[in-house]
């Protein structure tokens, strides 16, 4: 039951991140190929880097092509309905994105631990799973990656990875550890959105 929840939630996370890629491509007036590329790298870029780094090959979307079909369908539907997106509540996508970040972080950390790698590696790979796709998207779009700016985004992912690994080390079962880690990541990210929390910036100018 837990495995099914995680799997379908992972697909939901791919949908949300793919939509964010489509929106960036739309603002830059890319052609359909560019839209699909940005949607794809945003949705599966982080997980691909994770799998390659830990030797989990073929990477997850090659073993399960459902991810690709979901991304392609999301890109197509998003292109057809993008002009109606203003009718959706403005908070919906950021909230879903926060949920996707929380889930991707935990899934990334869990997969690394299943390869019996150290907890610190699991935390780092969890963060990469959650944020690297968006970084690739922004680089391809010629923008400073969102995660490298003052927004509390990667910080929330780091918190999730730490909570997950610590919970497991304390003997909690995987379901509780997953729930605690997701709640921590989601809570911090939503709090940052609600109260406009941010990290201090490094500035050499006087």
What is the rounded CA–CA span in Å between residue 8 and residue 4? 6
For 158-174, the three-class secondary structure string (H helix, E strand, C coil) is HHHHHHHHHHHHCCCCH
Nearest C-alpha neighbor of 14 from the set 172, 164, 129: 129
Q: How many CA atoms lie within 13 A of 202 on its CB side?
A: 2
In terms of Cα–Cα distance, which of 49, 47, 23 is closest to 35? 23
Tell me if 131 sits within 8 A of 51, measured CB to CB: no
Q: 198 forms bridges with which residues in the sheet? A: 151
pLDDT beneath 70: ranges in the chain: 85-88, 206
Q: Give me 165's structure tokens.
A: 């690994």
> What pLDDT, in 10s, does the model give residues 22-41?
988 988 999 999 999 999 99
The pLDDT value given to residue 88: 65
pLDDT at 31: 95
pLDDT of residue 85: 61
CA distance 173 to 66: 28
pTM: 0.93
């Amino acid at each position: 039951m837990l495995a099914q929840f995680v799997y379908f939630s992972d697909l939901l996370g791919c949908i949300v991140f793919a939509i964010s890629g489509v929106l960036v491509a739309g603002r830059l007036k890319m052609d359909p190929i560019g839209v699909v590329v940005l949607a794809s790298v945003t949705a599966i870029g982080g997980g691909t880097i994770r799998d390659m780094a830990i030797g989990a090959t073929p990477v997850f979307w090659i073993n399960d092509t459902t991810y690709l079909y979901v991304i392609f369908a999301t890109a197509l539907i998003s292109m057809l309905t993008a002009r109606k997106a203003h009718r959706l509540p403005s908070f919906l996508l950021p909230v879903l994105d926060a949920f996707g970040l929380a889930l991707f972080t935990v899934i990334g950390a869990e997969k690394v631990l299943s390869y019996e790698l150290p907890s610190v590696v699991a935390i780092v790979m969890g963060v990469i799973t959650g944020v690297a796709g968006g970084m690739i998207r922004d680089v391809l779009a010629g923008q400073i990656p969102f995660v490298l700016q003052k927004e509390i985004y990667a910080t929330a992912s780091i918190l999730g990875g730490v909570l997950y690994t610590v919970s497991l080390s304390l003997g909690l079962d995987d379901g509780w550890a997953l729930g605690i880690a997701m709640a921590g990541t989601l809570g911090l990210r939503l709090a940052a959105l609600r109260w406009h929390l941010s990290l201090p910036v490094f500035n050499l100018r006087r």
